[in-house]
Amino acid sequence: MTDPLTRQLVIGQPFCLDAVLEGAQDFRWRSWNGWHSGVLSGNLIHIRQIGHRVEYRADSDSDLDILLRRYFRLDDDIAAIHADLSSRDFKIASLVKKYPYLRILRQPDPWECTVSYICSALAKIPQISEKVEAIAKELGNKIKLDGDVRYTFPTPEVVLEVGPGPLKELKLGLKRDRKIMAAAKRIRAGKLNLCRMAQPQVCYAEAKRRLMGCDGIGDKIADCIALFALDKLEAFPVDTWVEKAMADYFFLCKKQPAGDELVMWAQDHFGKYAGYANQLLFHDQMD
């Protein structure tokens, strides 16, 4: 008899679950008995890929296909995106052929993404995951699946309700507790409406400007949040890996622009799907 908690997610495109979930976009995935374990929209999900088949289990009998299809951006016309990028640059065209399975994640909770990237400053991936998980464990609700215990991520309202003490006790470093509290206060005051910023009528420039009004959110972090949670596919986060890739592939014999100038160059060169080019370059450096 088929386990009622196990479902199949129809992909129909080149796809590699491991590469996508381990690609330093969303920091709450971990290995669990041959599955990837993660929490999305309050649901504890186990997911794995076997050949061309992707299957998942959840802590409820809810059908999560729609949530997962949005999360993996399976609604994107990936063939058209790859064609557009390939027509713009031969190096990106070669990376499209090399990594056709890469996807950008559309994270369902922009607040969780914002906190995660506030925690990312000057931290390595395992450290970021540890900090984000510690916040969830301290302030979230416990959920279980197959003996796996995880925690939902606390809302801004919960963070403000409990006050600064619990976050301070986590010793997140770099005054991250204060920065998270400050961002939560901006949301409560109506100065940072993350859900509205994810809407298409809010342009990338406005979303980035509003994000950077928060203490602890600079250019790179703002671009990460805009790309992974606010549906701004032109966002182009520049970390040390992407900066190196740009220097190696595009500015080998000339001075490379820095900061905003490099982001603007990339957006002009790669077009409206610059974020996809960014992930291809990042993955190639990490591969």
Range of the domain at 199: 110-229
Closest CA to 77 of 85, 88, 65: 85
Q: Is residue 179 part of a domain?
A: yes
Task: Tell me the per-residue pLDDT of 21-30, one tens digit each, with 9 for 90 and over.
Answer: 999 999 999 9
Q: List the structure tokens of 153.
A: 């991520």
Q: Is residue 126 part of a domain?
A: yes
Q: How many residues are listed for the chain in this entry?
A: 287
Q: Is residue 115 helix, strand or coil?
A: helix
Is 208 a residue of the active site? no
Q: Is residue 181 part of a domain?
A: yes
Residue 1 has pLDDT above 50, yes or no: no
Total domains in the chain come to 1
The radius of gyration of the chain's CA atoms, rounded to the nearest angstrom, is 19
Order of strands across the sheet that contains 6-9: 6-9, 53-58, 43-50, 35-40, 30-32
pTM flag (> 0.85): yes
CATH number reported for the structural domain that contains residue 153 in this entry: 1.10.340.30
Q: Is residue 68 part of a domain?
A: no
Query: Average pLDDT, whole number, for the chain?
Result: 94
Task: Tell me the per-residue pLDDT of 108-135, one tens digit each, with 9 for 90 and over.
Answer: 999 999 999 999 988 899 999 999 999 9
Mean pLDDT of 158-169: 95
With a pLDDT cut of 90, the percent of the chain lying above it is: 87
Cβ 102 vs Cβ 110: under 8 Å: no
Q: Is residue 114 part of a domain?
A: yes
Question: Which one from 179, 208, 220, 232 is the annotated catalytic residue?
Answer: 220
Residue 143 has pLDDT above 80, yes or no: yes
Q: Is residue 92 part of a domain?
A: no
Q: List the structure tokens of 102.
A: 């890469």
Q: Is residue 25 part of a domain?
A: no
Q: What does DSSP assign to residue 148?
A: E
Q: Is residue 143 part of a domain?
A: yes
Phi and psi dihedrals of 39, rounded to 5?
-120, 120
